[in-house]
Amino acid sequence: MVELSVTDASFSYAAADFSLRNISFQISSGEICCLLGPNASGKTTLIKFIAQIIGPGNGRIFFDDRDLLTLQPIELAKLIAYVPQIHIASFPYKVIDMVLMGRNPYVNFFSAPKKRDLEMSTKALSILGLEGIQNRIYTELSGGQQKLVLMARALAQETPLMLLDEPTAHLDIRNSLLILNSITKLVKEKKIIVLMALHDPNEALLVADKVVMMKDGQIIAEGIPKNVLTPESIKEIYDVRVEIVSSFNRRIVVSSLDSLL
């Protein structure tokens, strides 16, 4: 079974008073792991460090038997699809061209995308209901539409590991559910690994096989959602009082305006 294994990972920003400290966890193929924690807890930093967007740091990060900290960018791109929390496009590409960029690891530098590259890109757009906007200009889309296009690009990349930084941010409830449903189906069908940062514990309760709760650059709790996501752990992480109730045959985190501590 393929596994993402993070052991004693640490990273510090040179110009900021923040660091990740001794991060360790494992995710197996066919699993979704959700990172939860307040703003500035280290979720984005951890995802960027695993993707080797930032570094160097310390520790060991292995995908199966491959050390991610030693791989070249082209090798990483064939293993990891990364969707950032915020993306600022510099050029007015068409939507289909943005998604085709997910196929770059498989296209030689001086070659044009092949038939399969276009097929995988249009399929990814179709999965997310975006086929009707494939010829629109990416920079003219709403923030929510841009997030969906970036998700389509990640799907087209066909990697065994996906790192998603708040994939439902800026999306309405329908498109949030569309993203979460698409991720869940992909994980079940392809047996890939997904690590994603979320803000809403209820979204994690919908899809997560494992939860990692972070605060101040450290892991506070990790494990299966029903054991980890409790009123006590949420109080410790977020400084709010909540109740967890059952509805629609699932657990839901409920808060109110007087939940703040």
The reply to whether 232 falls in a domain is yes
In terms of Cβ atoms closer than 10 Å to its own Cβ (0-12, 13-18, 19+), residue 108 is exposed
Give the model confidence (pLDDT) of 177-233 as tens digits: 999 999 999 999 999 999 999 999 999 999 999 999 999 999 999 999 999 999 999
The reply to whether 18 falls in a domain is yes
Mean pLDDT along residues 32-58:
94
Domain that holds residue 153: 3-254
The reply to whether 110 falls in a domain is yes
The reply to whether 247 falls in a domain is yes
Rounded Cα gap, residues 259 and 242, in angstroms: 7
Q: What is the CATH number of the domain that holds 219?
A: 3.40.50.300
In terms of Cβ atoms closer than 10 Å to its own Cβ (0-12, 13-18, 19+), residue 241 is middle
pLDDT computed for residue 15 by the predictor: 75
Mean pLDDT along residues 155-169:
95
The reply to whether 211 falls in a domain is yes
Are 237 and 204 a contacting pair, CB within 8 Å?
Answer: no
Q: How many domains does the chain have?
A: 1
Rounded Cα gap, residues 170 and 88, in angstroms: 14
Mean pLDDT along residues 103-109:
84
Are 9 and 59 a contacting pair, CB within 8 Å?
Answer: yes
Amino acid at 119: E
Give the model confidence (pLDDT) of 116-149 as tens digits: 999 999 999 999 999 999 999 999 998 889 999 9
Backbone CA torsion sign across 105, 91, 114, 118: positive
pLDDT computed for residue 110 by the predictor: 67
Q: Is the pTM of this model over 0.75?
A: yes
3-state secondary structure 82-119: EECCCCCCCCCCEHHHHHHHHHHHHCCCCCCCCHHHHH
The reply to whether 197 falls in a domain is yes
The reply to whether 261 falls in a domain is no
The reply to whether 109 falls in a domain is yes
Query: What does R_g of the chain's alpha carbons equal in angstroms?
Result: 19
Angle of the 173-190 helix axis to the 143-157 helix axis, nearest 10: 10
Half-sphere exposure of 92 (CA within 13 A, CB side): 4
Rounded Cα gap, residues 43 and 241, in angstroms: 22
Q: Chain-wide mean pLDDT for the chain?
A: 92
Structure tokens at 15: 């110009």
Rounded Cα gap, residues 248 and 261, in angstroms: 29
